[in-house]
Structure 1
Amino acid sequence: MSTRYVRTTRRAGAAALLAAALTFTLAACGGEDGTGGKDKASSSSSGAGKDQPSKGSDGKTYPDTSKVLATFKGEKGIEMVIHEAKRDSGGFLTVTGEVKNGGSDGYTTPVQWSGMESDVAGAGPSFAAMTLTDSKEKKRYYVLRDTDNRPLTTSNYTSFIKAGESLPFFAQFPAPPTSTTQVGVTFTGFATGTIEIS
């Protein structure tokens, strides 16, 4: 057997081994559709993962509207309805609801809803200014941020609500101690009030 033949055989064997290793690595890193790695990354950076409210085909986040915890009155026929305030196993509290325009005219959401922090301005319109108050523990909770400092709340929505329509939202906070069963809700432009934690 010639030296040249041995070298050619070794090269072919090494190339086959490398191709097999690459195939195995790609299969292990992602799902069959190639999005497995991306889904894991976005899920881990968002904080609550599977307990987040569901999204519709239009990209909006829709709350479970079968129950109402509280309704907070705003200006010009605007109301903020809180449907759920739910703890999850990761130590988060997710508040879901919708802002309803019960007036006869369209309503432009105020920039103050996004809060005054310049760090979250890049997320577009959001509910980052919402806060929860635990009067029992004398603590205030702010909307959480992800690893890119974006608020973990509905954001970048169209800031105009037509008459008779609503804007669904969610906002995630650190969960108060389990002994706390009620929290106060404060959001710019609406009356303050209390909601029950489930």
Structure 2
Amino acid sequence: MSTRRTRSSRTGAVAVALATGLVLTLSGCSGEDGPSRNGGSSSQAQGSGEGDSAPEGGAEKEVQVEVEGPSGILIRLYAPERDSGGFLTVRGELENTGDEDFYQMSPWSGDEPEVVEHGSSLGGAKLVDTQGKKRYYVLRDTEGRPLCTMLPNGLSAGKTLPIYAQFPAPPKDTKKIDFQLPGWPSATVEIAE
């Protein structure tokens, strides 16, 4: 009996978390600020970048690590945060510090056909727990869409784009985790308490 209740509770928690992630993903892709499929980029990617990195509530987050990737693109990551549903959310921002617009973001989606068919995203990101010797992949909704930032067609020179990706949470005793994105050096971040 207690096993059945536990499974039911876990299933309910997972369903709620996935539904929440789907709502966040869909709301991020809807309206005029969402990514355009016709060759343009979102107004969010074209904006000033001011305040784009602010979390809910408007408070600024401290950048924990900055990694340089291809063509002058920087990724800045804040401390990943656990939530009560057993998930870990990594937030940060991409900035194009180069002199030219950047259009090579599709490799960051990874190579899973179910993820790639939904467009460019951070779906290829992984978390590596070197202490626990486990690898965690971006969560997917019931239709295979990754629970992460859906990327615009390009990032203009000098512009910043807020990003996020949601993963299963590693055990509570794991304090640091390596964030990996295809084509980028690994970045070690400390999980927020």
TM-score scaled by length of structure 1: 0.69
Structure 1 CA distance for aligned equivalents of residues 149 and 121 of structure 2? 6
Which runs of structure 1 show a deviation greater than 6 angstroms over 4 or more consecutive aligned residues? 49-52
Secondary structure in 2 matching 1:80? strand
Shift in Å, 1:123: 1.5
Greater mean deviation of Cα atoms: 86-95 or 62-71: 62-71
Shift in Å, 1:172: 0.3
1:58 aligned residue (25, 33, 37): 33
Q: Are 2:147 and 2:165, in contact at CA under 8 Å, matched by a contact in 1?
A: yes
Secondary structure in 2 matching 1:170? strand
Structure 1 CA distance for aligned equivalents of residues 183 and 93 of structure 2? 14
| Structure 1 equivalent of residue 103 of structure 2 | 108
Q: Are 1:68 and 1:84, in contact at CA under 8 Å, matched by a contact in 2?
A: yes
* Unaligned segments of structure 2, at least 5 residues: 1-14, 35-43, 46-51, 55-59
2:67 aligned residue (51, 63, 72): 72
Corresponding letter in the other structure for 2:68: K
| Structure 2 equivalent of residue 46 of structure 1 | 19
Secondary structure in 2 matching 1:76? helix
Structure 2 CA distance for aligned equivalents of residues 110 and 92 of structure 1? 25
1:26-45 CA deviation, whole Å, 9 max, x = no partner?
xxxxxxxxxxxxxxxx9654
Shift in Å, 1:108: 0.9
Q: Are 2:129 and 2:174, in contact at CA under 8 Å, matched by a contact in 1?
A: yes
Greater mean deviation of Cα atoms: 133-142 or 100-109: 100-109
Structure 1 CA distance for aligned equivalents of residues 133 and 17 of structure 2? 30
Shift in Å, 1:79: 0.6
Q: Give the 3 Å change call, closer, same or farther, for CA 82–118 of structure 1 in structure 2.
A: same
Q: Are 1:87 and 1:94, in contact at CA under 8 Å, matched by a contact in 2?
A: yes
Greater relative CO, 1 or 2 (CA 8 Å, sep 6+): 2
| Structure 1 equivalent of residue 181 of structure 2 | 187
Count of aligned pairs between the two proteins: 155
* Unaligned segments of structure 1, at least 5 residues: 1-41
| Structure 2 equivalent of residue 163 of structure 1 | 157
